[in-house]
Homo-oligomer: A and B are copies of this chain.
Amino acid sequence: MRIIVDAMGGDNSIQATALGSVEAVEELDLEVTLIGKKDLIEKELNKNNYTGNKIEIIHAEDIILNEDSPTLSIRRKKNSSMVIGFNKLKEGYGDAFISTGNTGALLAGGLFIIKRIEGIDRAAISSVYPTRDGMTLLLDMGANVDCKPEYLQQFAIMGSIYSEKVLGVKSPSVGLVNVGTEKEKGNILIKEAYELLANSNINFYGNIEARDVPEGIVDVMVCDGFVGNVILKLTEGLANLFFSTLKEEFKKSFSSKIGALMLKPQLKSFKERFDYREYGGAPLLGVRKPIIKAHGSSDGLAIKNAIKQAKIFTEGKVIDRIEEDVKKI
């Protein structure tokens, strides 16, 4: 098994991907291809004292930046680490591809270079969302802001398969994000999607309200990309507000500072429950090869977990199962 990793995504991408790859090849039975500026990657591997032969580097002169136009950069930046990575993935040189870079470009590359699975109308980006007691899969998180009911049905099927094969959930329950739990609630899109999901070969839970999203009452949450984006970003914004306000309050007096000091291990453990790094990256579902978007500010641990996730994604034959299941619709 060989995982292809774009080493040139976020700010600390070279450090993070080098460290994560070293840890991954030591821990897991696989090889890694790092793509990017060769000298810089070599330097990072040396820093980590890596002397093995399970990591190779393919040099890429160019980088797709976060501010680049997704479609244009995939078409024109032929020597970028991301496009080279996609082409290597396409020709079967590696089994899966991970990048911390431009999300739109990753989606565009998945669609234009790797191509959609037959029977799938739209590819979705899914996110593993931390909940009270674990995690739940949320899709679509922003790739498709205008959806038809059939897209949501396909998201539900893909999410269900991914949850079972990669996250290890047996017969995952699938919920439809809605404004109320009753069957007749919702906008036109969601009402029609409800009927399709209820008649699909999945463990359909029914509607869930946004209030229950953090409670993890289902294993897979389906919504259009506009709503998914609102859910993810609002969660991020509220967590920021919450932690910074708490910090501010704790600085207010001498005794509160002492109190906060006594609570340090608990506050740390609390924060870790909402730590994205433990949960790997966001799989792009609906394309013909395993592709994972890792967080732009991933560190070594996050990259190692994304590589592990890519391995299970590949071994679980998720894409074959999606192909089979969409044929049955």
Contact = CB atoms under 8 A, between A and B. Distances in A.
A218 to B, nearest CB: 13
Interface residues on A, range: 35 or more
Interface string A264-297: 0111011001000000000000000000000000
28 contacts: A146-B188, A209-B233, A210-B230, A210-B233, A210-B234, A211-B233, A211-B234, A211-B236, A213-B237, A214-B237, A227-B227, A230-B231, A234-B234, A238-B242, A242-B242, A246-B270, A249-B263, A249-B269, A250-B266, A252-B269, A253-B266, A255-B262, A256-B265, A256-B266, A258-B259, A259-B261, A259-B262, A259-B263
B245 A256 contact: no
A187 B144 CA distance: 9
Contact of A238 (B186, B214, B250): B214
A235 interface: yes
A212 B231 contact: no
A250 B263 contact: yes
A179 interface: yes
Interface string A219-233: 000001111011111
A191 to B, nearest CB: 9
A241 B265 contact: no
A142 interface: yes
Nearest to A245: B270
Contacts of A170: none
A132 interface: yes
Contact of A249 (B210, B256, B258, B267): B267
A118 interface: no
Nearest to A188: B146
A215 interface: yes
B249 A270 contact: yes
A57 interface: no
A226 B227 CA distance: 9
A145 interface: yes
Contacts of A234: 210-211, 213-214, 231, 234-235, 238
The 5 closest A-B pairs by CB, nearest first: A259-B262, A210-B233, A249-B266, A145-B187, A210-B234
Interface in A196-221: 209-215
A325 B146 CA distance: 31
A260 interface: yes
B187 A146 contact: yes
A177 interface: yes
Contacts of A263: 249-250, 256, 259-260, 263
A235 to B, nearest CB: 6
Given A226-B227, A238-B242, 16 more contacts: A145-B187, A179-B226, A210-B229, A210-B231, A210-B237, A213-B237, A214-B234, A230-B231, A231-B234, A234-B235, A235-B238, A246-B270, A249-B263, A250-B263, A256-B263, A259-B259
A141 B245 CA distance: 25
A123 to B, nearest CB: 17
